[in-house]
Structure 1
Amino acid sequence: MNNATTRNTTPAAAANKLDPITVLREELAAAALCHGVARVEDLTEELVRRYVARLGGLNVYVRNERVLERERMAKKVCASFNGCNTRELARSFGLSVRQIQRILTQVDNA
């Protein structure tokens, strides 16, 4: 295993083209090393093979953390909404009244 996976800039990121399989291999190898797996390459390749067997040919979309956080906030807003507390929610979540209304409308339409 080379030192490239231990640096902050991985080969996939350095190439500025993120190949999902390359990223998966790098992350699996790093996780295996952290957990003291003796034959990192064998484990990594077997997991990649299983991943490709299950998802090969599909377009896989991976949401980034910002989108996930926005979804979490939307769930909290909806759970806190009582029908007439839009302004209070806007203040407590640091959003505008319009943004709160948009969140609530999107949930209603979903």
Structure 2
Amino acid sequence: MNNKNATTTPSVSSNKLDPIAVLREELAAAALCHGVERVEDLTEELVRRYVQRLGGVQVYVPIERSLKRERLAREIRANFDGCNARELARKFGVSVRQIQRILVLKNNL
């Protein structure tokens, strides 16, 4: 039973993630959710474009916690009016010092 259309690259092989296989799986799942008829065509075209643009480059994928922290920092900066650090600390469940660090970090970048 040799199916030539089946994806032969597993996302996890010998405890090592294959980023392209993960990308293929996620794109196929997204395409199916949106009712795309020719999932394989769309998936392969997107993978080809991804490889064309980033091939040979080491890509760092941050952990989810980092993304949440960045999202929180953006929201705090967007809501800061110059005088409401305590209010923001209460609203977001962090210390006033953490609010200050987030705001200083932005100014130093």
Question: Could you state the TM-score of these two structures normalised by the residue count of structure 2?
Answer: 0.71
Gaps of at least 5 residues in structure 2 are none
Q: Which residue of 1 aligns with 2:37?
A: 37
Classify the secondary structure of the residue corresponding to 1:37. coil
Q: Which residue of 2 aligns with 1:5?
A: none
Larger displacement relative to structure 2 (56-65 or 89-98) = 56-65
Deviation at 1:95, TM superposition (A): 0.4
Percent of paired sites with the same residue: 67
Deviation at 1:14, TM superposition (A): 7.0
Q: Hey, what's the Cα distance between the residues in 2 that align with 1:43 and 1:69?
A: 29
Highest RCO, 1 vs 2 (Cα 8 Å, sep ≥ 6): 1
- Residue by residue over 1:8-63, the C-alpha shift from the partner in whole angstroms, topping out at 9 and shown as x without a partner, is xxx4247532211110121223234442524x434433332222112101122233
- Residue by residue over 1:36-93, the C-alpha shift from the partner in whole angstroms, topping out at 9 and shown as x without a partner, is 524x434433332222112101122233433222222212212222323222221111
Kindly indicate which of the two structures has a greater share of residues assigned to helix: 1
Question: Could you state the TM-score of these two structures normalised by the residue count of structure 1?
Answer: 0.71
- Residue by residue over 1:85-105, the C-alpha shift from the partner in whole angstroms, topping out at 9 and shown as x without a partner, is 222221111101111111111
Q: Hey, what's the Cα distance between the residues in 2 that align with 1:83 and 1:43?
A: 47
Runs of 4+ in 1 over 4 A off after TM superposition: none
